[in-house]
Amino acid sequence: MVDTTALRILIIDGYTKVAREQLQSGGASLAADLYVKMLQRCAPTGVECDVIFPADSGVSLPVGETIQDYDGVAWTGCSSCVFSGEPDVAEQIEFARECYRRGVPAFGSCWAA
């Protein structure tokens, strides 16, 4: 019997607001939108996605949600560098560590070097 329960995936779009605006002004799609579409197309049981933009100040998980409520986390690529030392990058690295500590599966694509 096939499980038809939809996966719950948290999409983490690491681009800054300025970088997202630059992408859109050039006609590009936001990374989070591309991930949501890809997951909806490829997930065998359906997928429900929440998106957060942690490079924006004051951003957190959706109200009432914890990281353990998700079946997985997908990190989009972004124009930041993991070695930059920027506060928003450090917070995202700590969030990745928390996902690992909580045993939440995660996938991440390229961050600029």
CATH assignment at residue 14: 3.40.50
**pLDDT value for 94:** 87
**In a domain? residue 1:** no
**In a domain? residue 2:** no
Region of residue 29 (left: phi > 0; alpha: psi -120 to 50; beta: else): beta
- What domain range is 77 assigned to? 7-112
**pLDDT value for 79:** 83
d(CA 52, CA 75): 10
pLDDT exceeds cutoff 80 at 37: yes
Q: Which two tokens stand for residue 91?
A: 């917070």
Q: Which two tokens stand for residue 102?
A: 């909580």
Q: Which two tokens stand for residue 98?
A: 């928390």
CA 6 to chain centre: 18
Number of domains in the chain: 1
**In a domain? residue 62:** yes
Q: Over the stretch 9-18, which tens digit does the pLDDT of each residue have?
A: 999 999 989 9
